């Protein structure tokens, strides 16, 4: 055998006679690994990493029609975004409020749905099908139907409230009512996701602890809080982290339900970036906001990940 590619690995295993053969094998192995991930890496580099660099570069420049040279302005856009009261006191609180509200409520409701489906009853498959539907039809159609359901003049919700003799609020014209509808829509879409994953978790739990609890005459609530929840912690943790991180980039629901209105009061992070870039036509400022948001969610995501890791360790 010729000694091709033998030097690629450091000669740390020099003492072993079969070095050459072995390191060739390792080299081959590495090449195989690189070959396997190459398509993914290329796609990721070309269509995500490169754009992110271009966007970051743009965020330091003046990006308007009257400035074709795209003059370097340093941190000007960052200074603008970070001193924008709308961004600081409306957009960011909205984003995190949506995250907490949506994840918390859909976790609670999803747990209820999972427990219900786990009971076993007639027509269970039918109910499971119904529960799966919101997740499948997606945010766009869901938001459209919610917008119609909560229509202030002709919507079913207000018709029902009128029939009950209650007030009929203009749902999408008031900041907190509109925000409530957004949270409700998001919960409507994502409860099934929590429900199905938690149901799978419930099904995989061992039976013995429940039998032991039943013998010890533990009530339902105690069985739930002391056995079901602790044993489901890993599933709950993973679900919450994934959903919370994804919730940060919510766009469709807000855009289609309120468009960020009334008066930009229900804007969340993605909507703010979009508005700056395409509505106010300041691409650089939008990019700066996008970079800031990315950094925020990365830090929050890592913190959340660490927190959940600890939370899950405690249960073991």
Q: Which positions from 164 through 223 interact with another protein, judged by CB under 8 A?
A: 188, 192-193, 196-197, 200, 207, 210-211, 214-215, 217, 219-221, 223
Closest separation in Å from C-beta 234 to another protein: 10
72 and 60 in contact (C-beta within 8 Å)? yes
- The least distance separating another protein from the CB of residue 79, rounded to whole angstroms, comes to 19
Q: Cβ closer to another protein: 23 or 228?
A: 228
Cα(282)–Cα(67) distance, integer angstroms: 12
Q: Which of residues 42-101 bind another protein (CB under 8 A)?
A: 43-44, 46-52, 54-55, 58
Q: Which is nearer to another protein, 98 or 131 (CB)?
A: 131
Among 19, 86, 128, 168, contact with another protein (rule: CB under 8 A): 128
Q: Which two tokens stand for residue 47?
A: 């269509």
Nearer to another protein, 49 or 166 (CB): 49
**Both tokens assigned to 9:** 């690995």
DSSP 143-175: HHHHHHHT-TTT-HHHHHHHHHT-----GGGSH
- Could you say whether residue 145 binds another protein (CB under 8 A)? yes
Indicate the residue among 2 and 219 with the shorter CB distance to another protein. 219
Q: Which segment (74-82, 97-105, 124-132, 307-315) binds another protein by CB under 8 A?
A: 124-132
| Helices 92-119 and 124-149, axial angle in degrees (round to 10) | 150
C-alpha atoms less than 13 angstroms from C-alpha of 16 in its C-beta half-sphere: 9
Report d(CA 185, CA 134) in Å as an integer: 10
User: Residue from 12, 32, 74, 164 that binds another protein (CB under 8 A)?
Assistant: 32
Distances (CA, A) of 155 to 134, 140, 150: 19, 18, 5
């Amino acid at each position: 055998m010729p000694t091709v590619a033998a030097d690629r690995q450091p000669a740390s295993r020099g003492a072993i006679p079969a070095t050459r053969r072995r390191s060739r094998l390792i080299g081959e192995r590495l090449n195989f690994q690189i070959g396997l991930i190459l398509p993914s890496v290329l796609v990721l580099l070309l269509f995500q990493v490169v754009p992110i660099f271009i966007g970051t570069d743009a965020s330091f420049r003046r990006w308007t029609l009257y400035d074709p040279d795209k003059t370097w302005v340093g941190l000007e856009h960052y200074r603008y975004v970070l001193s924008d009261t709308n961004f600081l006191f409306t957009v960011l609180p909205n984003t995190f409020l949506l995250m907490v509200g949506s994840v918390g409520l859909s976790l609670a409701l999803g747990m209820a749905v999972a427990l219900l489906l786990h009971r076993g009853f007639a027509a269970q498959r039918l109910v499971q099908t119904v529960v799966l539907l919101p997740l499948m039809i997606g945010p766009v159609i869901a938001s459209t139907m919610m917008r119609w359901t909560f229509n202030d003049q002709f919507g079913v919700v207000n018709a029902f409230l009128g029939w009950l003799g209650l007030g009929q609020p203009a749902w999408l014209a008031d900041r907190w009512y509109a925000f409530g509808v957004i949270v409700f829509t998001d919960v409507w879409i994502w409860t099934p996701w929590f429900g199905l994953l938690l149901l799978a978790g419930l099904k995989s739990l061992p039976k013995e602890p429940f039998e032991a609890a039943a013998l010890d005459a533990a009530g339902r609530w105690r069985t739930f809080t002391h056995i079901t929840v602790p044993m489901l912690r890993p599933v709950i943790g993973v679900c919450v982290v994934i959903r919370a991180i994804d919730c940060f980039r919510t766009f469709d629901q807000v855009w289609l339900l309120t468009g960020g209105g009334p008066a930009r009061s229900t804007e969340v992070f993605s909507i703010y970036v979009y508005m700056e870039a395409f509505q106010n036509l300041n691409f650089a400022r939008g990019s700066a906001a996008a970079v800031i948001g990315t950094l925020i969610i990365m830090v929050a995501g890592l913190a959340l990940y660490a927190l959940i890791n600890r939370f899950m360790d405690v249960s073991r």
